[in-house]
Amino acid sequence: MRQRSIYVAPWRIDLTVRGGVDPIVRLARLARTAALALDAAGAPSPASLGIILADDAELTQLNAAHMGADGPTDVLSFPLLPPGGFPAHEGGPVTALSESPASAVPPGPVFARPPGRRLHLGDIVISVERASEQAAAGRGGQTGDVRWSAGDEMRLLVAHGALHICGWDHADPAEEAAMRSLEQRILAP
């Protein structure tokens, strides 16, 4: 197992690569993608985010334990803050603070922390095995029909997972359209 923290101000991205897993893309590139997603979602800063690169076996276990689903998945997110700790977004749920998601303003700091300490937003676990297979089979991208590199698929999964950490979802068509659009903007650079 390898661990590395990469700072992309104001974020610290803590990356863990499980033993036997080849990350297939530079860890610094994944950290920059995560930072872009956190910036785009308006996450409170300074903060940290964990990214764990694993295999299908680990994602199968996590998928069963936390989602009640059989088999592996490509990415799972484990947020530590409630969705109200982030700015409301287009296609998101209407909050009590506003009449429309676009004009909602989140309340003040969600949790007090000691001076000089970063807030940990949560963790993302990605199956590198699943990302590689999806890319090779042309089942990548947001729609499952994009043929691109495994590295691009990994970047998408990092962006997708980070947005989930920040309260984004794709449960209904409006949320999905807004999330997919933001993912495309994050991946554009």
Indicate which CATH number applies to the domain containing 9.
3.40.390.30
Q: The pTM is what? A: 0.86
Quick check: is 146 in a domain? yes
Number of domains in the chain: 1
The boundaries of the domain holding residue 59 are: 2-93+117-187
Quick check: is 48 in a domain? yes
pLDDT in tens, 89-113: 775 554 433 333 443 334 445 556 6
C-alpha count within 13 angstroms, C-beta hemisphere, residue 183: 25
* E strands, 60-136, in order: 75-79, 119-127
Quick check: is 109 in a domain? no
**Which segments of the chain have a pLDDT < 50?**
94-108
Quick check: is 40 in a domain? yes
Q: Of the candidates 181, 71, 58, which has an alpha carbon nearest to the alpha carbon of residue 128?
A: 58
Quick check: is 103 in a domain? no
Quick check: is 112 in a domain? no
